[in-house]
Each structure stands twice: as structure tokens, then as C-alpha cells.
Chains A and B, each alone.
Chain A
Amino acid sequence: MQTPALPPQGATVRARRWRRVRRFVALPLAALALSGCTLPSFGAYPGATSGSKSVFHLWQWFSVGAVVIGGFVCLLILYAVLRYRRKGDNIPKQSQYHIPLELTYTIVPILIVFGLFAATLVVENKETSNPPTKVTINVNAFQWGWKFTYPGTNAFVYGQTTQEPEMVMPVGENVHFNLTSSDVLHGFYVKAFNFSRYALPGVRNEFTFYAENTGTYFGQCTQLCGLYHALMWFRVKVVTQSQYAAWLKTFNNPADEAAAKAAAKTTYEQTSAIVPAKGSTTKFGR
């Protein structure tokens, strides 16, 4: 047993401890808060639409919280594990309760949770709002491909599995999407837009994208939908508004008009559920 050194006066210890806290915790935190826009990406994609940018910032702030809290808890665990190794046959003080401490780690997390919830609400309301738009695109998912129709025009894009369709949409404009499914559940997911939504049979899901940059982005079905789920691809081509108008005009011929009519017809009828017959049919008491 070694005699512990005489501890310094309480006030001095507390002052010194506080100085240390300020140096190692408060300063980096303040620096981080001031440089808000240069936060690391924490692995996520900044996003190519206005909505996806807000989601990205939300992601960054959630990540700051996760790193700070997670790091703090990991340090506590590490300290306990290193400091309190068993060294002999001592029985430590059997302390079981510390009400002020327990209350602290109950109340502080509640406050953090409500902060996270408030930030969530702001971004969520922005992302799920559907402002009035001039451009509408109907997206229909089926096993195992996608069909994009443009109401009021003859344009439509269709493709399945690795012959993926390329949807065209204008940049700098709110574009409204109606998402349906003809058969089972599918997931409409565009990574660059930081967004996914289920395509549900019998339901029309609506959302709005405001693309900020032109470019071609990859999209893929994310909800298991059967055999070729892994290959149910599509692309999103964001073009300038004049390019978009020109692209729509290329469909102004009788053949495309007939095809577009046929395509539009199925799109609306299948929301009232026509499931293509395949495999065995339902039989009583099989």
C-alpha cells in the first residue's frame, strides 16, 4: 500500500478541472459550431436536389451528436476498463445509487432527443411538402422495371432490369411525382436525391423534387420484389429546361402518340389493381 499524496484544496482542483474541460471539450466544440458549413460529410452524399441538401445537413448534425456522445461514452468505458482492473482481493465500496447523477443522465438525453426531433420536423416538412408544379411525372414500378409517363404529352420511357429506362426531368423547377406499383412492393430510390419511397399497389405516393444540378443519376429498387430485384435499375437524367422541352417534342408523331395513350391507360388502371396473372392461381383448399 502506498500513501496517497495529500490532495490539494477542493476549490483549486475544481478550477483546474474546469480549465481542462474548457480546453479539451468546449474549444473544439465552439470551433466546430462556427465552421458549420465545413463539417465533414460523415460518408453521406451532399445531394443533387434542394430537399436532399437539407437532409444532408441534418445528417451532418446528427453525426456530430453521435460522434460526440458516442466518443464520450466510449471514453468512459475505456477509462473504467483500464482504471478499475482487479488488482487484489479487495472488495470495493458497494455504491448502488447516485440520484443526482442518474437524474442528469435521464434529463439531458430527453433534451437532446427533443432537439433532434425539432430539427427532424423542419427538414421533414420541407421534404414532404408538395407545392404546385407545372411538370408532373407518373412513375410505375413493376416486376422488374420502371415506366415513366409524362401526363399531357406523348412522352414515355419504359425499360426493365439491366435495360434500364432513363427518366428525363428539368433542372431548377419543382417536379411532381406520382408513384404506383402494378404488382408487389418496390422501392423508388435515387441515391443522389437522398430519397426513397415505396411503390405500393393500390396507393399513389406523391413527392416533389427540385433538382439543382444537371447530370445523370443512378436509381435502383430497394424493396425486395422477387427474383430480379437486384437488377431493377433506372437512371434519372436532369437536363436544362430548354433541353427538356426539346426532348418532349421528339415524341410528337402518331406512333408515339398511340403508344403514350396505351401507356397512360395502364398506368391509371393498375392503381385500381390489375395484377398480371402468372404462376398458379388461388384455389380453395389446395
Chain B
Amino acid sequence: MTDLLDPPVQLPPADEVVHGHDHDEHHGPTGILKWLTPTDHKIIGLSYTVTSVIMLIIGGIFAEIIRAQLATPNGTLVSLAQYNELFTMHGSVMIYLFAGPFAFGALANIMVPIQIGAPDMAYPRLNALSYWLYLTGAITMLSGFFTAGGAANFGWVAYAPLSNSVNTPGTGADLWIGGLLLTGFSAIFTGVNLCATIFYLRAPGMTMFRMPIFTWNMLVTAILILLAFPVLTAGLIMLYCDRHFGTHIFSVQGGGVPVLWQHIFWFWGHPEVYILALPFFGMATEILAVFSRKPVFGYKGMVFATLTIAALSLGVWAHHMFTTGVVLLPFFSIMSLLIAVPTGIKIFNWIGTMWRGEIWFSTAMLMAIGFVVTFLIGGLTGIYLASPPLDFFTHDTYFVVAHFHSVVMALVLAAMGGLYYWGPKITGYMLNERIGKLQFWFLFIGTQVFTFPQYALGLDGMPRRIAVYPHDPQWKWLNDWSTFGAILIGISTIFFIVNVAVSWKKYPAGDNPWDAQTLEWFTTSPPPHHNFYRLPPIRSERPTWDYNHPEHRSVAHGAEHAVVHESEPAS
């Protein structure tokens, strides 16, 4: 399908063709073997995509059960014990098995090599190992439900000493630890792979400051993974030793320190927040630029903001521990507040990208705008929580629950935007836009209806992780609204599944259906085995745009000429 917006295709100069001359025909395994033995990053990435979206649905079902239980003050849908299992596994599935793997296993795995003009990830077999570790980890963690004692039930943060063998003796807890260790190693290997790929496999001309923002964010994410995940792995091994080998690292009676677990966990856990967020920031950035028909506003500022967020995120872990009374409050308070600055830069850059653009409200764009608004709400309420006195009275209440659900639902909006934006590139087929827009409105409105009552509930003193609230039946109506929001979100997910079924191989996409900017839109949809038959000249961070619209280069404010000149040497 030829895109009407494209100029007639011209072949690039011969010296720009770097890949693909002998890969026109690829004879790999077919059928089931194609999915069991792949080392192609696109196939592995697709496996990741399908698995992590299934995890999103499983975690979502847990959430719907939780919300149904809370619809009445004395809910009897599940028992107190089952409720503890449900919110533990809801958090664990969403954080460990959906958000992270979806970002760096699925979309980054597929898109980063193509965005930088590489034929594959640097270590294709390590990439395959990552996926299989992730899949086994997910199955291990979820199999807790089939043990006698049920799944893990100490919250997704597993605070010691509740998580020791005295207070939580079940096998489900051990399976949780094991599953998390496996997915943790999977993340570390993906981090290694992404770093190596981005540092060593960039195409000629693709300098660091010509990488798309998504690739930049994935590089920073990968570095954060390498800094944070080994700490979690070490902590989990300590926890397992405490449970089974008689050590007393986190138990007072053996001379250990329970708070040490919180330090270890959050030293991983806060960078983890940005490990989850940065990839989705990147996706939204790309989408906003493409559908505004403009370059990313403040590209370099965006990169430095990402680096600043990553650096600060390593020094803020104890803001999760303000109410423990054993951490230095002012230090962690100012570090946490300062994160608002680079995050604010990003939000203004996103608005600057849309400003004076030509905005095309495709589903992907709607999702990205919904992401910015929802993330703005989550970010502003996060500023309260960085102030210790305000954290004292909102900590462990529904205010915190609402805050991080605003943030993670913003990430889900961006993730859906990413699927609508890159889906055509990965599969070669478009999704139905009309169903997509319905999905967006249900998801966006549902998210706000879901979180806003929770802010009010938290301020009215409703603690998190309680299955019943017989003392305060006046919380019912707000909980009901929140449950209604959760139902709207559930319906939006059904729209997505229906959309995939309805659009299955129906609307061929063409190579560049969005008139996009970055390198992945220069190749075919889906890309060939080693991604490119030919490459355009790479003279800025949007080579495909430059190729298609050579007369519309990026310009700086007040400048006469384009930011990057034609005559500038390629790296």
C-alpha cells in the first residue's frame, strides 16, 4: 500500500545501503518451532507481548475481584485470607510480570534494534533465555494459587518480618520468591542486551544524539535495571535464607534488622518505578511527535531530563519509609521533590511538541494525550507524598493507592498507545480505529472514575489492603464509584481483545502508515529477518522524516537554518 503522504520512493546512495543484500530470503523454522526456538528479536518480542498482555488481563481480573469485594463494607465475595492473596498477586503480576516485561521485553526488544538500524539484539540467544526465564518465572509465581496454603499473601513488597517462615509459612510465598528471582534475572539479561545493542550496533550515522527518544529512554532504563535488579536478587536470596536456612538477617530475635529489607527492597523499588515509567515516557514522546507532525520539542532537554530522573531515582528510596521513623527525612524529601523538575520539563516538552502542530487524533495519539493528563495528576499527588508531614497522614491509605494507580494507569494508556502505534509495524496490519477510540474513552474516563474516589477515601482515612470496612460504612459510595471505574477499565480491555479479533489480518498497514519519523518506519511492515534491505542517510534523530520530507528539517527558535545541516558529516 502506497501512502499518499509519501513522496515517490527514491533509492538512497549506494554507500548508505548497509544491510540486507543477502537476506532477501530467510529460511527459519516454521510452525510451532518458530515460536519455541527463535533468536530473532522480533519473534521473541512478540512472545513477550502476548505473554505480558495475558498477565495484564490476569492482574486485571484480580483487580476486578478486589473492587467487587470492596463495593460493600462487609463484602463476602472472598475471605480475608483470599483477599490478602489477591492484592498481593495483583500487585506482583502487574509490576513484575506485566509493566516491566511489556516495556523492555516486548516493545523495546522489537523496536530498539530497528530504531537504531541494527539487524538484531547484540546477544540473540541471551535474549531467548530472558524470555524463557520470564515465562517460567511467571508460571512459578502464579502456581502459588494451586498450593495448599494459597499464593503469597504478604503484599507485593513482602515486608519482613511478615514474610518470614513463622508468619507466612506457605509454599506460595516460596514460589513468589522463586518466580521473582527468575523474572529478575530475565530483566538483568535484557538490560545487558539492550545496553550492548545500543552502544555497539548503531547504524553508520546514528550518533547517540540522533537516537530516537524511545531508544534513549530504553538505554537509561537498561542502566537502571543493571544498578537496581541485582540488589533485589540479593535481597530475595537473603529472605529465602531467613525462611529456610536459619539465618536471621531480617529477624530481631537473631540480631537482624527488619527495616533492612525495606532498604533493600526500595533501593530496587524506587528505580523500578522509573524502570517501568521511562519506556512508556519514550513511547508517548514518539507518538506525540509523529501525530503532531513535528519533531520532539526540546529533544536534548528531554534526554537530560531522563538522565536526571534516573540519577535522582537512585537517591530517593527512603521516601517509602518516612513513617518508619528511622530514616533521615529532609534528605529524602528534597531528593524526591527535585524529581518533579525533570518530570515537569518532560510534560512541558510534550505540550511544546503538540504546540503549533497538526494534531491527528488517531487512537495512539488519544492514548498518548490521555497518558500526559493522567500522569500529570499522578505526578502532582506524588509531590504531596514527597513531603514527610503530608506523607505521615496519607501513608498506607488509599491516597497512596490512588496516586500510584494514576501513574500506572497513565503507563497503561501509553502502553496501549504503543500497541496501536507500533502494532502495524510489528504485524503488518492496522487495528480498527473506531473500536480503538471507544477503548480509549472507556480506559481514560474509567481511570479517572477509578482513582478520584480513592484520593477522597485516603483523605478520609481508609487504609489500603483492608478487605472490609464495617466501622466506616460511609466509605461505601466512594468505593462504589471506584468499582464502577474499574468496570469501565475492564470493558476497555474487552474492546481491545475484540479489536484484535475483528482486525485480524484485515487492514494491511504499508511501510509508513503514520508518516512517522524514525528508522523503524523506513523498513517493511513486518520487517524482514534482519530488519533492513536498505537504510536512508541518518542526519538527525528522524531519518525517515528527513528522507520523505527533505525540505522540512527541524529548526531552533529564532534560527534561520535547520538544526542539522545536510553538509554535516555523519558522526
Interface residues, chain A, with chain B CB atoms under 8 Å away: 43-45, 52, 54-55, 58-59, 62, 66, 69-70, 73-74, 76-77, 80-81, 84-102, 105-106, 109-110, 113, 116-117, 120-121, 123-124, 127-128, 162, 183-185, 187, 189, 191, 193-198, 200-203, 205-207, 218, 220-231, 233, 273-275, 277-286
A106–B162 CB distance below 8 A: no
Closest chain B residue to A203 by CB distance? Answer: B326
Q: Return B91 CB to nearest CB of chain A, in Å.
A: 11
Closest chain B residue to A270 by CB distance? Answer: B252
Q: A195 to chain B: which residues have CB within 8 Å?
A: 392-393
Pick the contact of B323: A91, A102, A196, A229 (CB < 8 A).
Answer: A196
Q: Return B517 CB to nearest CB of chain A, in Å.
A: 10
Closest chain A residue to B362 by CB distance? Answer: A86
A205–B81 CB distance below 8 A: no
CA distance A186 to B372 in the complex (A): 36
In the complex, the 10 A-B pairs of residues with the closest C-beta atoms, listed nearest first: A191-B461, A230-B466, A202-B252, A273-B252, A222-B396, A98-B557, A194-B393, A97-B556, A96-B554, A222-B463
Q: B468 to chain A: which residues have CB within 8 Å?
A: 230-231
Say whether, besides A80-B359, A113-B340, A201-B252, A58 and B326 are in contact (CB < 8 Å).
Answer: no
Q: B389 to chain A: which residues have CB within 8 Å?
A: 54-55, 58, 120, 123-124, 127
A/B interface sample: 5 pairs, CB < 8 A: A92-B357, A117-B337, A189-B463, A195-B392, A226-B167
CA distance A206 to B489 in the complex (A): 43
Say whether, besides A185-B162, A223-B396, A94 and B557 are in contact (CB < 8 Å).
Answer: no
B460–A191 CB distance below 8 A: yes
CA distance A73 to B344 in the complex (A): 10
A233–B471 CB distance below 8 A: yes
| Chain B residues numbered 278-312 whose CB sits less than 8 Å from any CB in chain A | 292-301
CA distance A280 to B552 in the complex (A): 71
Query: With an 8 A cutoff between CB atoms, is B58 at the interface?
Result: no
Q: B167 to chain A: which residues have CB within 8 Å?
A: 183-184, 226, 279
Say whether, besides A55-B390, A77-B373, A84-B359, A286 and B244 are in contact (CB < 8 Å).
Answer: yes
B459–A227 CB distance below 8 A: no
Query: With an 8 A cutoff between CB atoms, is B67 at the interface?
Result: no
A196–B299 CB distance below 8 A: no
A85, A197, A229 pick with most chain B CB within 10 angstroms: A229
Write the B516-542 contact mask toward A (1 if CB under 8 angstroms, else 0). 000000000000000000000000000
Say whether, besides A86-B293, A225-B162, A110 and B463 are in contact (CB < 8 Å).
Answer: no
B243–A109 CB distance below 8 A: no
B383–A116 CB distance below 8 A: yes
A91–B325 CB distance below 8 A: no
Q: Return A167 CB to nearest CB of chain B, in Å.
A: 16
Q: A127 to chain B: which residues have CB within 8 Å?
A: 389, 392
Query: With an 8 A cutoff between CB atoms, is B369 at the interface?
Result: yes
A224–B253 CB distance below 8 A: no
With A97-B297, A97-B556, A229-B84 given, can you name 14 additional A-B contacts, CB distance below 8 Å?
A: A70-B380, A73-B351, A77-B354, A84-B357, A96-B295, A99-B557, A128-B329, A187-B395, A194-B393, A223-B159, A224-B159, A226-B84, A227-B80, A277-B166
